[in-house]
Amino acid sequence: MSTESKRQQRFAGVIQQDLGELFQREGKAWAPGAFITVTRVRVTPDLAIARVYLSFLNTKQAKEDMAHIKSHANEIRYKLGARIKNQARIVPHLEFFLDDTNEYVEHMDKLFDEISKEPRQPE
């Protein structure tokens, strides 16, 4: 897999910042009670598709919230387009993915805690 170009990285940064602000202001409509963080954005070389990774805090139903956001992807894309219209010729198609890094970290912490509680065997 090749690395992203500077152009892709800059464009992904713009999308990440604008989507972050959009979710901060209007995220309650798509995921009530959840705090949504845009953790990463990857853009295809032609800038036509943006893969957006979201993390949810203060919610027990992250998968349901993600499904609700995916069902409103066109509305979110439209609102993003209104924000970046002066910076981009086209508004990329948005694909949303659940970033479960926090869950993975918590799982690993639990495993390490269990390992540290086990009695040590003499060497």
pLDDT digits (tens, 9 = 90+) for 17-56: 999 999 998 888 888 888 888 999 999 999 999 999 998 8
Q: What is the pLDDT of residues 60-91, one digit of tens each?
A: 888 888 888 999 999 999 999 998 888 888 89
Distance of CA 50 to the CA centre of its chain: 11
**Average pLDDT in the chain:** 86
What phi and psi, each to the nearest 5 degrees, are found at residue 38?
A: -90, 105
Number of other residues whose CB lies within 10 A of the CB of residue 95: 14
| ∠ Cα 115 121 116 (to 5°) | 20
pLDDT at 1 over 80: no
- Contact at 8 Å (CB) between 98 and 68? no
Which of 16-43 are b and which e, b meaning 16 or more Cβ less than 10 Å from the residue's Cβ? bebbbebbeeebeebbeebebbbbebbb
Provide CB contacts within 8 A for 33, sequence distance 6+: 58, 59
Domains and CATH numbers, the chain: 6-117 (3.30.300.20)
